[in-house]
């Protein structure tokens, strides 16, 4: 996820050495009214942007809705999925996901959501439907799933304050990506490469 010119500042990183095993955590994405996604990730660092959580290729994603459960793979449903790096920021209405540029040009995605909350080893957030994608090569920002967002606002699934916060978050993301002149995307891409190089085991056991 991507784009231009200023290199990240290594001094801000709290990277975990390749000889250590990062803490195992989990992420729960809640879909109103009765759905959720659940998967694992290793905490690989923390910096001014937030907490960085890495999910290796081959890790399982559990989908639950209306009492039924199914499994696929993180990053891409088909086996074996793809490795991804998540960024959980502090007190903002989104969570970012970086994927390898080799897997496609849209390598940075923001899930607009309620502010992620940590309880024990689980980060949880409520999906507010809007998705923001950043093109790796051009840095262009695109907002998707507007129809789902409008429908959820109309039927009360998303409250008016949540809707306002979601719109504001989408605008903030565009500013973050453009004003940081690529530093945000470059930091995520570099952290993803570093995590992949550690050879961490896929997360296939979910509590």
Domain ranges of the chain: 10-197
CA distance 130 to 143: 7
| pLDDT of res. 4 | 30
Helix (H, G, I), strand (E, B) or coil at 65: strand
Please, what is the angle between helix 160-179 and helix 146-154, to 10°? 150
| pLDDT of res. 183 | 73
Q: What is the largest CA-CA distance in the chain?
A: 51
Q: What is the DSSP string of 17-53?
A: PTTS-PEEEEEEEEETTTEEEEEEEEEEEEETTEEEE
* Residue 82 phi, psi dihedral angles, 5° rounding: -140, 155
Locate 50 and state its tokens. 């937030």
CA distance 74 to 39: 7
| pLDDT of res. 185 | 78
Q: How far apart are the first and last CA of the chain?
A: 30
Please state which CATH number belongs to domain 10-197. 2.40.380.10
CA distance 181 to 196: 25
Locate 133 and state its tokens. 């994608």
Q: What is the pLDDT of residues 167-192, one digit of tens each?
A: 999 988 877 777 655 677 788 989 99
Residues of the chain with pLDDT under 50: 1-18
| pLDDT of res. 154 | 96
Whether the CB-CB separation of 169 and 92 falls below 8 Å is answered with: yes
| pLDDT of res. 201 | 97
SS3 for 69-92, per residue? EEEEECCCCCCCCCCEEEEECCCC
Q: What is the DSSP string of 125-176?
A: EEEEEEEEEE-TTT--EEEE-HHHHHHHHHTTSS-HHHHHHHHHHHHHHHHH
List CB contacts of 104: < 8 A, sequence separation 6 or more: none
């Amino acid at each position: 996820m991507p784009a231009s010119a200023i290199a990240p500042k290594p001094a801000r990183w709290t990277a975990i050495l390749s000889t250590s095993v990062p803490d195992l955590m989990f992420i729960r994405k809640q879909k109103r009214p009765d759905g959720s996604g659940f998967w694992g990730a290793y905490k690989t660092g923390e910096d001014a942007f937030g907490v960085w959580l890495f999910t290796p290729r081959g890790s399982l994603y559990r989908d639950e809705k209306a009492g039924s459960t199914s499994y696929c793979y993180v990053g891409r449903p088909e086996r074996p999925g793809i490795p991804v790096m998540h960024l959980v920021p502090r007190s903002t209405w989104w969570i970012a996901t970086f994927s390898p540029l080799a897997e496609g040009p849209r390598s940075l995605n923001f899930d607009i959501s309620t502010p992620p909350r940590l309880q024990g080893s689980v980060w949880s957030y409520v999906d507010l439907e809007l998705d923001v994608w950043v093109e790796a090569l051009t840095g262009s920002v695109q907002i998707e799933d507007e129809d789902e967002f409008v429908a959820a606002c109309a039927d009360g699934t998303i409250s008016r304050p949540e809707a306002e916060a979601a719109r504001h978050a989408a605008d903030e993301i565009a500013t973050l990506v453009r004003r940081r002149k690529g530093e945000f995307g470059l930091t995520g891409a570099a952290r993803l490469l570093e995590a992949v190089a550690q050879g961490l085991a896929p997360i296939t056991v979910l509590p």
